[in-house]
Amino acid sequence: MKLTFIGTGYVGLVSGVCFSEIGNDVTCLDKDLGKIERLNRGEVPIYEPGLQELIAKNRELGRLRFSGELTPAVERAEAIFLCVGTPPLPNGEANLAFIEQAAQEIALAMNGYKIIATKSTVPVGTNDRIRDIVSKLTPHPFDVVSIPEFLREGSAIADTLHPDRIIIGTDSPEAAEKIAELHRPLTDRIMVTDVRSAEMIKYASNAFLATKISFINEIANICEKVGADVTDVAKGMGHDRRIGPSFLQAGIGYGGSCFPKDTNALIQIAGNVDYEFKLLKSVVEVNQGQRFNVMTKLRHSLGELGGKRIGVWGLAFKPDTDDVRESPALDIIGALLAEGAEVQAYDPVATANFKAIFDQADEVEWRDDPIEAARDCDALCLLTDWAEFKSLSLTEVQAAMRQNILIDGRNVYTSEQVDEADLRYYSVGRPHVG
């Protein structure tokens, strides 16, 4: 199929590349011409394992191109996928300005029947609005499809090529069949529903996963007080197929560009129809508090933090990505500096992005190596569970430090690893480890 993806952020770029990989003819569009130029030079603007290689391969095969010119890209496409950003407004609502503008531009460029499919996460009712905008501006026929995206950063290619399910929301059986056909090489778990239900499935899924995380984090906090081990508790719960083992990893809470934005947006969507989503409000509150448990543990072990040297391992919101949006590290390093601590930090790939958005970047000492980030520290805080940290010798780490406090915000280390070194070790919900 001839496809155009509007927006070369995570969703648009990865989806476009993966659909070219399975043999479609794909154009990825972006208004940021600098980004298009870089992509055309073979530079990939995001860190996503395997993406660069797939881009090179499919460009060479002539099935993938990057462009800033909307009209020809719309004209040649049978289906156009909206993958532009929906960043949060100050009140938590999704900003739909980019979506609406793209819809207008598509309408004005149309030269015949098109499927307009929305992959961006948009509030319930947005695709109906897109239909209104487009129908006012073009005489050509078209169908609107909501096709929410469920890929995770860091495993985006595998998630796209091997999805758990594909949700197609539309009132057009013909458009549903065409989009189903496009996805059949990836999975046969394809569900067709109406547009509004598809839009809701995306928010409900992310809100549920966020709820699982806040739930296990609260269980972890209780485990610390009653002497139970949250990793065993989660494992034991996960054996129940109705619960499942995933997204029950306790830590310092979720971050990223999706869960924080989508949970707040769903609270807002409910509020707009006079429904208070009490459960989800608590999920958000618990998540915000969870990151500051690192500070509580530091104060408990070190006393006053003023003048203390604290090492930070991990700035990305999770491993295998350079994304630092809503990363717990932003709040934690901010709080450390506010209490007068000296901070030295290391991340394998996300330091440049972190420096770009963190107001107090000048006050942090940036390190290129994990041992250097631990050197002469009174305490070390592990905030992102990069594989690199798991394999380090804690004896070597401890030898570099001034005092021996390790706060493991992601429960990375086993008791054996901890016992080998002489550390005062604090993890999340595992009072017996260390």
Least spacing, CB of residue 89 vs ligand UGA, in Å = 18
Spell out a b/e string for 415-433, using b for 16 or more CB atoms within 10 Å of the CB, else e. eebbeebebebbbbbbeeb
Query: Residues 86, 126, 214, 249: which binds ligand UGA (CB under 6 A)?
Result: 249
**Residue 9 in contact with ligand UGA, rule: CB under 6 A:** no
Would the annotation count 31 as a binding residue? no
**Residue 320 in contact with ligand UGA, rule: CB under 6 A:** no
Would the annotation count 390 as a binding residue? no
Sequence-separated (6 or more) residues with CB below 8 Å from residue 101: none
**Residue 427 in contact with ligand UGA, rule: CB under 6 A:** no
**Residue 86 in contact with ligand UGA, rule: CB under 6 A:** no
Where in 161-190 is the site for ligand UGA (CB under 6 A)?
none
Q: How big is the site for ligand UGA, counted in residues (CB under 6 A)?
A: 21
H or E segment at 145? strand 142-146
Query: Residues 54, 99, 109, 151: which binds ligand UGA (CB under 6 A)?
Result: 151
Looking at residue 151, its amino acid is L
**Residue 292 in contact with ligand UGA, rule: CB under 6 A:** no
Would the annotation count 248 as a binding residue? yes
Closest CA to 269 of 387, 166, 373, 126: 126
Query: Residues 18, 168, 258, 336: which binds ligand UGA (CB under 6 A)?
Result: 258
Q: Which is nearer to ligand UGA, 104 or 282 (CB)?
A: 282
- Cα–Cα distance, 287 to 126 (Å, whole number): 28
Would the annotation count 321 as a binding residue? no
H or E segment at 267? helix 259-272
Query: Residues 291, 318, 367, 375: which binds ligand UGA (CB under 6 A)?
Result: 318
Least spacing, CB of residue 164 vs ligand UGA, in Å = 9
Least spacing, CB of residue 112 vs ligand UGA, in Å = 32
**Residue 153 in contact with ligand UGA, rule: CB under 6 A:** yes
* 199 within 8 A of 146, measured Cβ to Cβ: yes
CA end-to-end span of the chain, whole Å? 56
Q: Which stretch binds ligand UGA (CB under 6 A): 97-105, 258-266, 342-350, 386-394?
A: 258-266
Our measurement of the distance from residue 145's CA atom to the centroid of its chain's CA atoms, rounded to an integer in Å, reads 23
Active site residue 258: yes
Q: Which is nearer to ligand UGA, 258 or 267 (CB)?
A: 258
* 297 within 8 A of 291, measured Cβ to Cβ: no
- Cα–Cα distance, 200 to 108 (Å, whole number): 29
Sequence-separated (6 or more) residues with CB below 8 Å from residue 193: 167, 168, 169, 201
Query: Residues 30, 48, 149, 320: which binds ligand UGA (CB under 6 A)?
Result: 149
Least spacing, CB of residue 350 vs ligand UGA, in Å = 12
* 163 within 8 A of 186, measured Cβ to Cβ: yes
Q: Which stretch binds ligand UGA (CB under 6 A): 148-156, 179-187, 333-341, 388-396?
A: 148-156
Query: Residues 209, 223, 337, 428: which binds ligand UGA (CB under 6 A)?
Result: 209
Q: Which stretch binds ligand UGA (CB under 6 A): 112-120, 206-214, 357-365, 375-383?
A: 206-214
Q: In Å, how far are 25, 40, 352 from 28, measured between CA atoms?
A: 10, 11, 26
Q: Which is nearer to ligand UGA, 108 or 279 (CB)?
A: 279
Q: Which is nearer to ligand UGA, 118 or 206 (CB)?
A: 206
Q: Which is nearer to ligand UGA, 28 or 258 (CB)?
A: 258
* 303 within 8 A of 339, measured Cβ to Cβ: no
| Active-site position among 18, 28, 83, 258 | 258
Residue 93: Cβ within 10 Å count: 17
Q: Which is nearer to ligand UGA, 206 or 404 (CB)?
A: 206
- Token duo for residue 323: 């994304």
* 116 within 8 A of 124, measured Cβ to Cβ: no
Instruction: Give DSSP secondary structure letters for 50-108.
Output: THHHHHHHHHHTTSEEEES-HHHHHHH-SEEEE----PBPTTS-B--HHHHHHHHHHHH
Residues that bind ligand UGA (CB under 6 A): 121, 149-153, 206, 209, 213, 247-249, 251, 254-256, 258-259, 262, 317-318
Residue numbers in the known binding site for substrate are: 150-153, 202, 247-251, 255, 318
Instruction: Cite the active site residues.
Output: 258
